[in-house]
Amino acid sequence: MNLLLSDDYLLQDYPESMTSTIRSGHATMLRFNRTGDYLASGRVDGTVVVWDLETMGVALKMRGHNKSITFLSWSRCGRYLLSTCQGWKAILWDLQTGHRHREVRFRAPAYMAELHPWNHNLFVASLFEEQPLLVDISEPVDVKRVLPSAPKRPNADSDIALKEKQAKEDAKQMTTSAIWTATGDHIIAGTSKGKLNIIDAKTLEIIYSEKICTGVITTMRITSSGRDLLVNSQDRIIRTFRIPNLAVPDLDPDTIQLPLEHKFQDVVNKLSWNHVTFSATGEYVAASTYNNHELYVWERNHGSLVCMLKDPKEEQGVIEWHPSRPLLAACGLETGRIYIWSVISPQKWSALAPDFAEVEENVEYMEREDEFDIYAQEEIHRRRLDAEDEDVDVLTADPTKDGEDLANFRMPILFNLGESDSEDEFVAVSTGTMRRRSPGESQADLSAGAESAAPVRKKAGARGGKGKKK
């Protein structure tokens, strides 16, 4: 709604300076929700923290993992959040209650698990040294189906020796990253050998595969439109691809093409990239650099480097671009702080004094015909009232997207969160003495977490129940 009044500071659509830092424990993973009002961060100690971007404060803390969080994924409605940790499990959190909705255990640590774009009971998980899984948790007992990693080959009439060789190669193919297409009909998976597979989510068959790079594919991202794919791999090159339309009714797998659009790399410094992200519209690509403090932002139209953000004295890990605003969040690898870059809009001074207008250059003022005519006050007042014949609509909301937003889930406001995070890192030993919490100790937090969650439950119960009379 503020966009009606402030259109000019949207001129620059990539962040230019660091505007704030927030910290709650040591963050390792970040993810914005779809509307961009909350930022989830996963911590080294396994806690998942949800930040409210409007207040830059913690909205919710959820404890349940006991190992470092590796990935986070929001449901479309914003009510569910899927987190995976190095501890061989994934938890789907219900943010309404702040409790775990479902928990799924794997036979290996998970690199990532991404929720289906429309169905929060379905997700794809890529595991360490294991085949990726498609997990359906709509039933009380979760259903795990194994997805293939071995690339699709042209039909094999070839000899046995070749087949064996291929089988050996295929056994080494491990999916390291798997994401959904925008429609949720297909899964795009990247392997440890630089292969990219497109998997049909219904048949679980690879319908297309191509070797796109030589290194391990570490990160894959698609734009919200679902037309562009961003791939980061260990060969120090970031690639963008055009995703073909996979939704056509009679899709012939053999005709699929995945054209390479850009390669972003730093040829001089031979930098490799920690993490990459698309901007809100996909117009820009941002990356954090390995062993370096800068964030690089490229513009995709021409493939040119737009800016380097270099404020913090720290190497940045995961970076995330806000889904609608020119705002970047990144977490520092050493301190686990979350840094936020954005644009600072200048105050429009004419907004403060309505009888002034800002003009680019001098304008000769044209006097209105009746501007200095003198009328009786009543006359003026009457004329004003008569002029108010316009039809006003005070009810119908702007049809753009507001209705959708209102239907969305609203996160409960919790008053029982500590405002700082000293509680997380320091333990009271006795009166007046504190000591820093040792790293492994956070696991003992589980019971404490349950305790602190108790008032939450109570609150939720009270909402459902009838108002008590005192």
Partner 1 sequence: MSSPDELARDTPPPYKRRRTGDTPSPRSSSPDILAGDPDDFRQPPRRVSQRGGGLSQSPTKAQYLNGFLRSQSVSRAPSESVPRSRSASSSGSRTRSQSPAHSTPSPAATPPSRQRSRSPTSTNQSRSNSFSPEPQQQLTPPRELPKPNYKARLVLHGHTKAVSQVRISPNGRFIASASADATVKIWDAATGAHMDTLVGHMAGVSCVAWTPDSNTLASGSDDKAIRLWDRVTGRPKTTARKAGQEMAPLRGHHNYIHCLAFSPKGNILASGSYDEAVFLWDVRAGRLMRSLPAHSDPVSGIDFCRDGTLVVSCSTDGLIRVWDTSTGQCLRTLVHEDNPAVTNVCFSPNGRFVLAFNLDNCIRLWDYVSGSVKKTYQGHCNKSFAIGGCFGVLDGEAFIASASEDGDVLLWDVKSKEVLQRVHGHEGVCFWVDVHGETMVTAGQDGSVKVYRHVRHSGELNGNGTKTESKAPGQGMLQGELPIRQDDVKVEDVMSI
List contacts with partner 1 (CB under 8 A): 1-6, 37, 52, 54-59, 345, 347-348, 351-355, 376-378, 380-382, 384-385, 388, 390-398, 402, 405-406, 410-419, 423, 452, 455, 459, 462-463, 467-470
H-helix or E-strand spanning residue 274: strand 273-278
User: Would the CA dihedral through 236, 238, 31, 297 be positive or negative?
Assistant: positive
Nearer to partner 1, 96 or 234 (CB): 96
CA–CA gap between residue 296 and residue 273 (Å, rounded): 10
Longest dimension (CA), the chain: 103
**How many residues appear in the chain?**
470
CA–CA gap between residue 381 and residue 369 (Å, rounded): 19
Q: What own/partner pairs with CB < 8 Å and gap ≥ 24 does 353-357 have?
A: none
Nearer to partner 1, 38 or 123 (CB): 38
User: On the CB side of 201, how many CA atoms lie within 13 Å of its CA?
Assistant: 24
Nearer to partner 1, 164 or 398 (CB): 398
The pairing of beta strand 133-136 with beta strand 143-146? antiparallel
Nearer to partner 1, 160 or 376 (CB): 376
- Minimum Å gap between C-beta 440 and partner 1 is 25
- Minimum Å gap between C-beta 344 and partner 1 is 8
Q: Where are the beta strands (DSSP E) in 33-184?
A: 38-43, 48-52, 57-62, 69-74, 80-85, 89-94, 99-105, 110-115, 122-127, 133-136, 143-146, 175-180
- Minimum Å gap between C-beta 178 and partner 1 is 33
- Minimum Å gap between C-beta 405 and partner 1 is 7
Bridge partners (DSSP) of residue 81 are 74, 93
What is the DSSP secondary-structure string of 297-357?
EEETTTTEEEEEE--SSS-EEEEEE-SSSSEEEEEETTT-PEEEEEPPPPP-GGGT-TT--
- Given a contact cutoff of 8 angstroms between Cβ atoms, the answer to whether 131 and 146 are in contact is yes
Nearer to partner 1, 160 or 385 (CB): 385
Nearer to partner 1, 347 or 431 (CB): 347
Count, in order, helices (H) and strands (E) of the chain: 5, 30
- Minimum Å gap between C-beta 356 and partner 1 is 10
H-helix or E-strand spanning residue 200: strand 195-200
- Minimum Å gap between C-beta 362 and partner 1 is 23
- Minimum Å gap between C-beta 399 and partner 1 is 10
Nearer to partner 1, 157 or 419 (CB): 419
- Minimum Å gap between C-beta 457 and partner 1 is 13
Nearer to partner 1, 80 or 264 (CB): 80
